Chains A and B, each alone.
Chain A
Amino acid sequence: QITLKESGPTLVKPAQTLTLTCTFSGFSLTTNGVGVGWIRQPPGKALEWLATIYWNEDKHYSPSLNSGLTITKDTSKNQVVLTMTNVDSVDTATYYCAHRLTYSGGWYFDYWGQGTLVTVSS
């Protein structure tokens, strides 16, 4: 059974760095084809993809946020960490981590965490 859960601060000040952790079970990020992504959703708005990481360390980032994002994995802890620097109020959103649909040729997300709401405010 695949599960994912996001954790991190609920409130961050503008210009600070946001660090979110996705802790997962039921799969391994050392297995060929496995990947995890981060997606966010501002209140009342649409989904926005942020970053993805493959089992082989291949990474992709949203170009609109590229310079401020870093995604890493810790396979010993079954965790994926997303770091976002210099946050702003527009980064207030629910942040989801999600598992890649392994048997498709690309990136769809078949298992999602419950999401964590992050508010950026002074």
Chain B
Amino acid sequence: EIVLTQSPATLSLSPGERATLSCRASQRVGSYLGWYQQKPGQAPRLLIYDAFNRATGIPARFSGSGSGTDFTLTISSLETEDFAVYYCQQRANWPITFGQGTRLEIK
């Protein structure tokens, strides 16, 4: 099973700042990694698939990068609605696995 480790666990930033979230895989996953956003009481929302492709309707301030074992989700300029928990997910090998999440909170 591929283990995804996200860092940091919590990130405290202010609106307008740039956010950089990391996800490291225990084995190479190529580009087969996605990112989700989850707000309290809501289902997750797909942001990025296959490392850098934005899902339908996702604002351009969200971008993904990386390949192999190290991946990054960048939010270029934080809006208040971006403060949430973010999860990475790999689809390279069964079983599908998720990271433990990064909480992005308002500073």
Q: Which residues of A contact B (CB under 8 A)?
A: 37, 39, 46-49, 52, 60-64, 96, 98, 101, 104-110, 112-115
Contacts and interface: CB of A to CB of B under 8 A. Distances in A.
B55 A96 contact: no
Contacts of B50: 104-105
Interface in B86-107: 87, 89, 91-92, 94-101
Contacts of A52: 96
A108 B100 CA distance: 17
B94 A60 contact: yes
Given A108-B34, A108-B49, A112-B43, A47 B98 contact: yes
Interface residues of B, number: 26
Contacts of B56: 110
Interface of B: 1, 32, 34, 36, 38, 43-46, 49-50, 53, 55-56, 87, 89, 91-92, 94-101
Contacts of A105: 32, 50
Contact of A110 (B46, B91, B98): B46
B25 to A, nearest CB: 15
A49 B98 CA distance: 8
A39 B45 CA distance: 13
B89 A108 contact: yes
B91 A107 contact: yes
Nearest to B34: A108
A22 B45 CA distance: 18
B44 A109 contact: yes
